[in-house]
Amino acid sequence: MTSFSIKTQRLCPLKTPHKNQRGQALAEFLAVSVAMIPLFLLMPMIGKYQDISHSTQMASRYVAFDAMNRNDSMGTWKPESQLADEVRRRFFSNSDAPIKTDDVAGDFPANRNLFWSDPKGAPLIKRFNSDVSVSFGFGNGAHHGDAFSKTSDGVPFGLHDQLGLRARGIYTANVSVTLANLPSGLKFYEPFDRINLSITRSTSVVFDPWAARNPEQVEARIGGNPLIFPAASLLGVGSLVDASVAIIDLPGALSGPKLGKLDFWRDVVPADRLK
């Protein structure tokens, strides 16, 4: 006869946490907070630095595109000191500054952007004339002539001198802003209390176009140089060809191919179409 036996096992109750582990989550939170609190305190300052950086970029574009409209090809340059005053007033003073001629930014609260201040309320741009500057070219020159950097046009465009085309290169405008350090004595603001932050942005343009003002200027550039337009030296031969074509063609037909005569092929809109 076979006998069976059944063994039972008691389940042990869950062990309660040791008393030394109590408060561990709070301790971990406090440890992480030590690292995160400085970041949270610096976030407003980082936003202010980004805002100033954006204004600096827009100011450099203003200087570069102003040069496209006012340069020696158009008559004269805008004075460098006037450009610097306009940049300081229109991009780095109070955000609602009016656009007025000969208006300059003053070092007083009414002309400042109140958002650009440190935690104690002191302005990040202390002095407009010395902390906001405009320069030209990769060498940070003081004049418009320093803004150009030579470029190579390559073999296909090596005749720009013969064509009377200007090829001074790329024009670069720079705007720089020097910002005040944050107040010292607070661990949270390190190293911004001694960083001596300066923001510089540049914009480069090419404004010596090779387009002509009118067909006459194209003819003057091309037709006056036999090296560029050899047909210009065939005016006598062209007359003989025209006469031969007139004899061969029917009476009243068009003349010959007009060799060397650019004005014949000029694309001109009739005057009655311009009304």
Residues forming a β-bridge with 132: 177
Lowest mean pLDDT among 42-51, 123-132, 219-228: 219-228
Lowest mean pLDDT among 27-36, 75-84, 114-123, 179-188: 27-36
Residue 254 confidence class, pLDDT cut points 50, 70, 90: low
So what's the pLDDT on residue 64? 96
So what's the pLDDT on residue 97? 85
Tokens found for residue 51? 């805002």
Highest mean pLDDT among 6-20, 51-65, 239-253, 255-269: 51-65
- The model's pLDDT over 56-115, given as tens digits with 9 standing for 90+, comes to 999 999 999 999 989 887 778 999 999 999 999 999 999 888 888 889 999 999 999 999
Cα–Cα–Cα angle for 22, 28, 31, nearest 5°?
A: 135
So what's the pLDDT on residue 160? 72
So what's the pLDDT on residue 34? 66
Which one has a higher pLDDT value, 40 or 123? 123
Residue 37 confidence class, pLDDT cut points 50, 70, 90: confident
Tokens found for residue 72? 């020696």
How high is the mean pLDDT of the chain?
80
Three-class SS of the chain = CCCCCCCCCCCCCCCCCCHHHCCHHHHHHHHHHHHHHHHHHHHHHHHHHHHHHHHHHHHHHHHHHHHHHCCCCCCCCCCHHHHHHHHHHHHCECCCCCCCCCCCCCCCHHHECCCCECCCCCECCCCHHHHEEEEECCCCECCHHHHEECCCCCHHHCCCCCCCCCCCCEEEEEEEEECCCCCCCCHHHCCCCCCCCEEEEEEEECCCCCCCCCHHHHHHHHHCCCCCCHHHHHHHHHHHHHHHHHHHCCCCCCCCCCCCCHHHHCCCCCHHHCC
So what's the pLDDT on residue 20? 61
- Across residues 158-168, what is the average pLDDT? 75
- Could you give the percent of the chain with pLDDT greater than 90? 38
Give the CA count within 13 Å in the CB-facing half-sphere of 143: 3
So what's the pLDDT on residue 218? 79
So what's the pLDDT on residue 42? 80
Question: Is a pLDDT exceeding 80 seen at residue 171?
Answer: yes
- The model's pLDDT over 211-228, given as tens digits with 9 standing for 90+, comes to 777 778 777 777 766 777
Question: Is a pLDDT exceeding 80 seen at residue 236?
Answer: no
Query: Are 178 and 198 within 8 A, CB to CB?
Result: yes
- Across residues 24-41, what is the average pLDDT? 71
